[in-house]
Amino acid sequence: MNHNKTWSGRFNEPVTELVKKYTGSVYFDQRLAKWDIQGSLAHAAMLCEAGILTQDDLKLIKQGMAEILDEINHGTFEWSLDLEDVHMNIEKRLTDKIGDAGKRLHTGRSRNDQVATDIRLWLRDEITQIVQLLKMLQTALIDLAQKNIDVALPGFTHLQVAQPISFGHHMLAYVEMLDRDVQRMNDCQKRVNTMPLGAAALAGTTFAINRETTAKILGFDHICQNSLDAVSDRDFAIEFTAAASLVMVHLSRLSEELILWMSPRFGFIDIADRFCTGSSIMPQKKNPDVPELVRGKSGRVIGHLMGLITLMKSQPLAYNKDNQEDKEPLFDTVDTLIDTLRIYADMIAGITVKPEAMKAALKQGFATATDLADYLVKKGVPFRDSHEIVAKAVRYAETEQLDLSDLPLSKLQEFNPLISEDVYEVLTIEGSLQARNHLGGTAPNQVLAQIERFRQKLKN
C-alpha cells in the first residue's frame, strides 16, 4: 500500500486529514527552503567525493536544485501538505525532475540532522543581519547624542529628579547596552555555526561519509561531536532567543522613557509624526504607537524564550516530534527583532529634543543638591554632616518654592558659614555637568570622548 509518504510502507492505513494538518510543518518551515537546498548540495558533493554518488548523479542534482530554487524564488513551487515538510517537498520535486538520482540524495542522512542543519544555516545568516541592524541603531543613537552633548536633562532614580546629566550621556547608556547585545549575538553565532549533518537519525551512518568536507563547503567552524546531541540539541535556538529577549528588554526600557518624555507632563522630546497615530475621538491626541508596540512586543519575544525552554525541558534523547515546535517561535523572534531594529533606528533619527523643558524640570527637582553636599565636603565638612545640612536647605527652598541656586548667599550661610560666593558656580546645571569630568562621567568632554570611541569601534 502506498500512501504517498516516504515512510508509508510500514503502515496499513493513511493518516487522517486532521492528523496531517496537526503534524505537518510545511506551511511554516518552507522558509528554510534556500538553506535546505544549500545543505543538500553540500551533502551531495561530499557523497560524490566519497564515491557514494556518481558525477552524473551530482550533475543532475545540481541542475534540479537550481531549477527548484528558481521556482521557489518566483513563487511557482507547489507546496504539498501531504509531503509534510520543506525537506520532503523539495526531495519529491527533485525526484520528479531527475529520477533515481534524486532518491539517492538522502543516502547517509536523516531529516533529523537535515533540519538541525537547515535551522543553523538560516539562523547564522539572520544573526549577521541582526548585528548590522544593532550597529545601525547604535549609530542613530550616537548621532542624536552628539547633537545634544551640552543639553542637560534630569537624571532620575525612582522616577524622582536626581542629578543633571547630559542628554548625550543618556543616549550613550543605550549604546552601551546594544554593544553588549552585539557581543552576545556574535558569541551565540559561534555556537550556532556548528554542523550536525552526518549524525543521521541519531547514531551516525554506515556509509563512509566525510563530515569535514561537508562542514568546509557550508562554512561551519565546528562539527557536532556526538550524534545524539547533534540531532536533539536546540540550545543554540534558546541562547539566541535569550539574547534577542535582552535586546527587546533594552528597547522596551528606552521606549518607556520616550513615551514618558513625549507626554506633556514632561515635554522633553517630540517623536516624528510618521511614528505616531491620532485618536478616533480626541482630535488633539498624538500617540507614540511605535515605542508602545515595541514595549509590548518585548513580552512576545520573552514569551518565545519561555516556550522554547519549556519545549526542551522533558525531552529524552534523541530527536522527538516536539522539536517541530521550535521553528515558529524562533522564526517570529527573528522577524520581530529585525522589524523592531529597522524601525527604531529611523525613529531615533526623527526625535526632536526640547532643552528648555528639560531645564525647567531640573529647576523643579533640586538636581544640584548633591553638588552642594560635595562642595561642603571639599570645605572640610564630613559628608554625613553635609548631607544633613543640604537636606535642611532643600526643605527650606521647597517651602519658599525656590531652587537652591535662587537662595541668597546670606540664607545659604545660615545653614553653614563655610558657604561662600563661589557656591553659585556649583549650583548651576552647567557647573554640575562639568564637575563630573572622569571616565564614564557626564561631563560634555567625556561624553564626546565616548562618542568618538564608539564611532571608531563601529568602523571595525
Residues recognised as catalytic: 158, 279
- Backbone φ and ψ for 194, nearest 5 degrees, come out as -125, 130
| 352: enclosing H helix or E strand | strand 351-353
From the number of C-beta atoms within 10 Å of its C-beta (0-12, 13-18, 19+), residue 222 rates as: exposed
Grid look-up 545524539 returns: 228
- Quote the cell numbers at residue 215: 562542514
**Closest to 87 in 3D by CA, of 310, 327, 275, 277:** 327
Beta bridge partners of 270: 352
Alpha helices in 203-326 (DSSP H): 211-218, 227-232, 235-262, 289-312
CB 401, CB 363: distance < 8 Å: no
The angle, 0 to 180 degrees and rounded to 10, between the axes of the packed helices 327-349 and 235-262 is 30
From the number of C-beta atoms within 10 Å of its C-beta (0-12, 13-18, 19+), residue 159 rates as: exposed
Grid look-up 538522502 returns: 106
CB 49, CB 213: distance < 8 Å: yes
Rounded Cα gap, residues 376 and 383, in angstroms: 8
Rounded Cα gap, residues 248 and 299, in angstroms: 8
The angle, 0 to 180 degrees and rounded to 10, between the axes of the packed helices 167-192 and 111-147 is 160
SS3 351: strand
- Vertex 217: Cα angle to 212 and 221 (nearest 5): 60
- Backbone φ and ψ for 402, nearest 5 degrees, come out as -125, 155
- Quote the cell numbers at residue 183: 557581543
**CA pseudo-torsion sign 386, 392, 396, 398:** positive
